[in-house]
Every structure is written in structure tokens, then in C-alpha cells.
Structure 1
Amino acid sequence: MTTDPARPGPRDFEVISFDCYGTLIDWESGILAAMQPVISRHDLVSRPDEILAAYARAESAVEAGPYKPYREVLRRTFAGMAKDLGFAPQADELETLVEALPRWEPFPDTLAGLRALAAAGHKLAIISNVDDDLFAATARTLEVELHAVVTAAQARCYKPGDAIFERAFEVFGVAPGRLLHAAQSRYHDLVPGRRHGVQTVHVVRDSGRGDVGAAPSVDPLDAAEPDWSVPDLAGLVALVGA
């Protein structure tokens, strides 16, 4: 579903919430940059899509189990990637993704889009699968005041679980139908958002690598369709008429 100029945009929403990593922050580039020294050290020949697919498989498997802090998720994800890609990780490498995450950068359109939305008076919020202290470093790169932030650490639940969205409705002070949620991942965000009655916007972020945040068993074509679809935050700004 794409944005149709003749189709009405979102209405009667009080808060715009965002997934962070993959939607506002270019985590694909961040993951690949973090993994490049490891790949070189172990003399591996791995394509970017193979590295990202290994990340998606490992992270989804870890998050599907009992709740663990995201730092531990990243450590176990790295170990899972190592097994998948065929190398034995050295002890100091297990912190690779934990140390890299605070340095992951916004997409080129993110800051201008957030500033435009904030200038139009919209309340902006975050729903993210992350620890609070890790997100604090990222928040400084977004350069806008956020109405509220809900993390997996607060809810002790990772998207697409229900508890993190239920906490968001409580913290944001909005009914599900008055929340507009923008995200890149169908699996983590759009499907559960629609399940809860949230208005959803798919920020496509088509890198050609697919949905890095999708669980391997989920076919995006079978997932619930978002209410609207835009290529980037400039598209979201146009959609809501900021």
C-alpha cells in the first residue's frame, strides 16, 4: 500500500510513535560496520545480506525466549551469528554489537523529518526493543524533544509482544486508536500495531536487503497491511500534513 494523494491521511491521532532502530537509525549500516573487523579477522567471505540475515535469525531466536536485557540479547545474537557464519568468536568480540549500537547514525532524512513534525506541534514518542541506557545515547542524536519513550527494558517484553504496546498506551496516555505508529518492520511493529487497533505507517526503507528485523519464519506478504506506506520520513511529514 502506497501513499495516495487522493486518500485521506491519518486523523484524530494524539501521538506519533516510532520504532527506532531500522526506522530512524540506520542499523543495517551500523551492524555491517561493526561486523567488518570481525569478518576480516576471521578471514570470512560473507555478503552483507548474509550477515544481516544471520543477525535477524539469531536476534529473533534470543528475543523469543524469556526476557533478557538487550545487552545480553546482543551478546547472544553475536554468538548466534558466529555459529551461523562459521567462526568461533573470541571473548572480546562478544561486546561488538553492544559497543557499536550507541554509534549507529540516523538515516539522512531522519533529523529533518523529526524537526518538521515537532515544529508542527506533534507529540513524538519511541517504542523500541532496547535498554534504557543504550537508547539514551541514541536519543542525543535525534535532536528533538520526545514526548515519551517506552523500551523493552521497561515492559520486560520485546516487540511484537503485547506488553510493550500496552505499556506504551499507558505511558503515552492515549487510546490505541489515537496513536499513529511509524515503523520499518512488519513483524515487530506493524502486525502487532494493527492487532491493537493502532494507526500504522510503514516506513519502507528499501535498502534492497529485505526486512532485517523480520523473523525468518514470517513472510512479509502474509503480514497485516499497514494503513499507509511511505519511503522515508519526508513521506511521513507529507502524509500528516506537517
Structure 2
Amino acid sequence: MRLSDFKALSFDCYGTLIDWESGMIEGLRTLTERVERPLTRDEILQAHARHESQQQAQTPWKPYRELLPIVYKRLCEQWGVSYTNAQCEEYGRSVQNWPAFVDSPGALQYLKKYFKLIILSNVDNRSFQHSNDKLQVEFDAIYSAEDMGAYKPADKTFEYMNAHLGDLGLEPKDVLHTAESMFHDHEPGNRFGYTGCHIYRRHDQKGFGATMTPGTMPTFDFRFNSMADMVKAHQEELREA
């Protein structure tokens, strides 16, 4: 199997193209600095993952920018820190500050020459626009949680993408689903029969960071430590051809 066998790449955005973990840590700094005991980076990310995934399951219709303030509130309660509504709402707007991984824009611009590019992301459209500006590429389709009325890993998200691929002249077999998260992406991707490409951003770290453990590990067909490595592999395929 080769990367060049596919006509399109569908991407998770946060954790794969945007460095959401660094964005979270920075966005939560005014909270975590007030916690009585020092928290490790992974403690912060794992707590965030738990509260976020619970809230996404409970209120799948709520836009991400309105869901994050609830996560902030739950973290404050967990760690015994006072909060105001203004602080919660400020964190809800923090996605606009989350940085792109340094290799994402260039890699996407290269891949755009050979593939259609699709976003399948747990985000609202307003927040994603800020991220899209950082990624510096025009996607062929953007399927957001706000559009879908659900958050990955819910079946409804991949069902939504399947229902709209025909608009791009594609079938699921034409698409390589490219993502970091085992929980949000590769596990449901397996259920829907997608070929998977794991961008292993956390290859030098333990655990799952800002995502929940998937339980039984999903399968995937490609693995790269970065988007830059994915580009190198595609370039090597072209040289061999």
C-alpha cells in the first residue's frame, strides 16, 4: 500500500496539525498556577481529556467554543480553584491562540498538489477559521462538530463525512484518514473501514496526553512522527515511481 494510492487525505486538526496540547497548557496557565500543588503537564492534559470527552458526549450539539468554558469550570472544581464566568469564557476563546505545528503549513501546501484535503474535526467553525489561517492552505471540505451535531468518536461524525464525500467525487476507499488521536479518529475510523495514517506527534512522550485511552488499540496502515515525515515518504514514492 502506498500513499499515492489515495485521492484525498482527511485530517483531524487538533493534535495533528495544530499543537493543541501546548495551546491548552498556555491557556490554562492562570488556572494551574493557582492550584495548591504543582501539576505535571500530563496531569493537566489527562484531566482536560476526561472532562472534555464527558461534556462532548453529554452535549454533542454545543459548539466547542461554548463547551471549553464548562471544561475550565470542571477543572477549577477538581483542583479547588475559584473561577469567574469571564475566565471560563476566555478559555473558550483560547483556540484562536493555539499554534500550528511548525511543519503543518508547508506539508499541507505540498500535499495539496497531489490530494484533496478534508478536515474532520471536533471544533466549531468560528474557532477553526483562526486555525485555518495558521495552516495557510485551502481545504476542499471542512466537516466540523458544529456542522455534524456530534463530536468524534461518535458514529455520526464519520457517517456525516461518508454522506458528503460524493460531493467531492470521492468514496471512502479513496480517502486516507490522517490523525494523531487513537481515541477520536483511528478507533472510529476502524469501525467505518477507513485506511489510517497515524501522525505520532507524541512519539517521544508516554501516554495519550489530551486524548482518552482508546482501550483496545486500533490498527492503522501508515505511521509517521510528523507531517514532514509523511511528505518525505510521499516524495520517496514519487522518486521510486
Asked whether the 8 Å contact 1:25–1:107 carries over to 2, the reply is yes
For the pair 1:210 / 2:203, whether they are aligned, the reply is no
With structure 2 as the length reference, what TM-score do the two structures score? 0.89
Q: For residues 213 and 28 of structure 1, what CA distance do their matches in structure 2 show?
A: 6
- Spell out, residue by residue over 1:19-64, the C-alpha distance to the aligned partner (whole angstroms, 9 max, x if none): 0011000011000111112223455521211111110110011112
CA distance in 2 between partners of 1:164 and 1:89 (Å) = 33
Give deviations 1:182-226, integer Å, cap 9, x for gaps.
10100100011111111110111015153234325x33xx22111
1:74 and 2:68 correspond: yes
Q: Secondary structure at the match of 2:207?
A: coil
Q: 2:18, 2:100 within 8 Å by CA — same for their partners in 1?
A: yes
2:176 corresponds to 1:183: no
Question: Deviation at 1:92?
Answer: 1.9
User: Is the deviation greater in 139-148 or in 204-213?
Assistant: 204-213
Mapped partners of 2:157, 2:198: distance in 1: 19
Equivalence for 1:106: 100
Deviation sequence 1:62-106 (CA, Å, 0-9, x none): 112132221222111111212222323222211232121111111
User: Which amino acid in structure 2 is aligned with residue 171 of structure 1?
Assistant: H
Cα distance in 2 for residues equivalent to 1:213 and 1:192: 18
2-structure distance, mates of 1:90, 1:66: 22
Structure 1 residues 90 and 42: CA distance shift in structure 2, 3 A:
farther
Mind listing any 5+ residue stretches in structure 1 that lack a counterpart?
Answer: 1-7
- Cα distance, 1:213–1:33 mapped onto 2, change above 3 Å: closer
| 1:36 is aligned to 2:29 | yes
Question: Which residue among 156, 164, 167 is the counterpart of 1:163?
Answer: 156
Q: For residue 192 of structure 1, what is the aligned residue in structure 2? A: 188
Percent identity of paired positions between Structure 1 and Structure 2: 33
2:41 equivalent to 1:45: no
**Is the CA contact (8 Å cut-off) linking 2:67 and 2:92 kept in structure 1?**
no
Distance 2:210 2:28 in 1: 17
1:231 alignment partner in structure 2: 225
For 2:56, the aligned partner's letter is: E
Partner letter of residue 126 of structure 1?
A: I
Contact 1:178–1:199 (CA<8 Å) still a contact in 2?
no
Alignment of 1:117-156 (within 5 A): 117-119=111-113, 121-156=114-149
Q: For structure 2, list consecutive stretches of 5 or more residues without a partner in the other structure.
A: none
Which shows bigger deviation, 166-175 or 130-139? 166-175
For residue 93 of structure 2, give the secondary structure of its aligned residue in structure 1: helix
The one-letter amino acid paired with 2:108 is L
